Structure 1
Amino acid sequence: MRIRVAMWSSMWFLAFTGACAHGGAGRERVTAATGCAASGALCWDFEEGTLPAGWTPYRDEFSGQLLVDDSRARRGRYALHASQLVGGKEGSQGGPKKTVRFNLPAGFGPVLWGRVWVYATPARPVSHAGLFNARYPRPGSSERAFETLDWYEVATFQQKYMAIWHPPEPPGFPEWVQVSGTPLVLDAWACLEWQFDGANGDNPEAAEPRVWLDGVELEWPERFVFSDPPATAPVVREKATDFTVVETGVFLYQGLSVPTDWWLDDLAIGRQRIGCGEG
């Protein structure tokens, strides 16, 4: 069946229009791609040449920097650049983290689609490298602080694409981890899309994250619960009412020995699929 998308409030429409001016078996069928210009998408092409309005610096650990620059762009002149990230010891907790955060308008809802184009060089990190996450309050909780929120994440791990559902961070686990068999694309632009469905219809838990690479949905041959120390209890993915905040950039949870660059461009989020087309 088709995922139903609720009507936007006037506040939503005005906020989104302003942002966009800058430019398997058993699964339900996804909505058609709409393009970034569609009503209900928040879009950032970074062509202001600086961090777009509403985004604020968050993580800043080890060497490297996160900035908007003109060193490489998918189109136009500028992109968000995680430059020369390095530090920590591979296999040990702690690594370079450079990110920014954005508070979503009230009433976003429990389903979040996203799209970003990513360019990485010169090597695929073995360590867990997060690229985007979206967070929401726990059921029945009035807490809104970042560290009290459940969250979905798109990342890479062991040089392959990964997606995770987490409880609040810290510690962020026990978490439900899905690792693909698809290596991170190097030295070329790749389109990543995701669906975080915190409602999941009448099901008792939020849905597992879904991710697409250049329009093809990723499979997850490796799936497991991660906890430190290890835990045997199953993860319960708590359901969402509204996503409230998103984070992007690059954040490594273990060390990175090879100085590495990532560029992120044409980032967009919304309540229906956005797609990899122009806009």
Structure 2
Amino acid sequence: MRIRIASWSSSSLLILAFAAACAGGQASRGSGGEGPGAATGCAASGTLCWDFEQGTMPAGWTAARDEFQGQLLVDDTRAHQGRYALHARQLVGGKEGSQGGPKKTIRFELPAGFGPVLWGRAYVYTTPERPVSHAGLFNARYPRPGSTERAFDTLDWYEVATYQQKYMSIWHPPEPPGFPEWVQVSGTPLVLDEWTCLEWLFDGANGSEPEAAEPRVWLNGVELEWPERFVFSDPPTTTRPVREKAENFTVMETGVFLYQGLSVPTDWWIDDLAVGTQRIGCGPR
């Protein structure tokens, strides 16, 4: 997402009731209904998990974006459990409200035939302030239907992020330009100075529906709702993008990537990252 020139959809605004109870079993929908299945943890077949306890970047991850000031490293300054975590350290640069911002990320090529459904889980710690700018934390990408292209800039993608100091999720077409995109902004402020469990579901199959599903995100076991939902494009449009269906997710990216400036040096830690085709869940905190 770039600078916001929001074209609001006709979707009604929802009132978000924020709860922060950690649930390691069934996920719940924002209204309290049952989520799509029980947590499996890292034991489920095909689940990929990283606890960063080697003290270095795990095998298979490669350096990706590196813009403005700051570092992305594995260190022992803070961990959810164990000794080490991935640390986006002292990111700063660019001008808030303008294009460009600090980006420090790594990428991982998923196994062939991963499938069109990707569940994820990560513990995240942020300090000292909530960024106003769009700050991405995780994305996963897949080829367009019928395409043999595998280059990063040819792929549709889902993203988990924060924006205007709140949690956000997005479906994007290939980047650049990455829009028109379908944006969902929660009413839930980014949690500071505390480990939180983020879970997400990117369902690129979506059963018999004609399009891939909208992204879903849980915070400490409670599903987020989206009071703000809109199309972003430059130039603006009110026409929603077609969320093309997936056959296989092929690559994912984590770290922190800001699309506008960041004036306050900020740290993020990411630990116990996991992805799979079934819900992984939040373990005991």
**Counterpart in 2 of 1:116?**
122
1:74 maps to amino acid: H
Determine which of 242, 248, 264 is the counterpart of 2:254: 248
2:167 maps to amino acid: Y
**Counterpart in 1 of 2:100?**
94
**Counterpart in 1 of 2:277?**
271
The answer on whether the counterparts of 1:135 and 1:243 sit within 8 Å (CA) in structure 2 is yes
Say if 2:242 is the partner of 1:236.
yes
The answer on whether the counterparts of 2:129 and 2:266 sit within 8 Å (CA) in structure 1 is yes
The answer on whether the counterparts of 1:166 and 1:173 sit within 8 Å (CA) in structure 2 is yes
1:249 maps to amino acid: G
1:40 is displaced (CA, Å) by 2.1
SS in structure 2 at match of 1:147: helix
Deviations 1:3-54 (A, max 9, x none): xxxxxxxxxxxxxxxxxxxxx58x9840210112322210000000000000
The answer on whether the counterparts of 1:123 and 1:258 sit within 8 Å (CA) in structure 2 is yes
Matches within 5 A, 1:82-161: 82-161=88-167
CA RMSD for the aligned pairs?
Answer: 1.3
**Counterpart in 1 of 2:53?**
47
Say if 2:164 is the partner of 1:163.
no
TM-score (normalizing by structure 2): 0.88
**Counterpart in 2 of 1:8?**
none
The answer on whether the counterparts of 2:141 and 2:155 sit within 8 Å (CA) in structure 1 is yes
The answer on whether the counterparts of 1:35 and 1:278 sit within 8 Å (CA) in structure 2 is no
**Counterpart in 2 of 1:10?**
none
1:250 maps to amino acid: V
Deviations 1:60-79 (A, max 9, x none): 00000000000000110000
SS in structure 1 at match of 2:205: coil
2:115 maps to amino acid: G
2:281 maps to amino acid: G
The answer on whether the counterparts of 2:61 and 2:107 sit within 8 Å (CA) in structure 1 is yes
Shift >6 Å, 4+ stretches: none
Deviations 1:183-218 (A, max 9, x none): 001000000000000000000000000000000000
1:197 maps to amino acid: D
2:242 maps to amino acid: V
**Counterpart in 1 of 2:24?**
none
Moved more, 153-162 or 224-233: 224-233
1:257 is displaced (CA, Å) by 0.2
Say if 2:34 is the partner of 1:31.
no
2:148 maps to amino acid: S
What percentage of aligned pairs have identical amino acids? 83
SS in structure 1 at match of 2:42: coil
Determine which of 178, 186, 190 is the counterpart of 2:192: 186
SS in structure 2 at match of 1:36: helix
**Counterpart in 2 of 1:204?**
210
The answer on whether the counterparts of 1:139 and 1:239 sit within 8 Å (CA) in structure 2 is yes
TM-score (normalizing by structure 1): 0.89
In 1, Cα distance between equivalents of 2:211 and 2:218: 22
Matches within 5 A, 1:65-84: 65-84=71-90
The answer on whether the counterparts of 1:137 and 1:144 sit within 8 Å (CA) in structure 2 is yes
The answer on whether the counterparts of 1:82 and 1:250 sit within 8 Å (CA) in structure 2 is yes
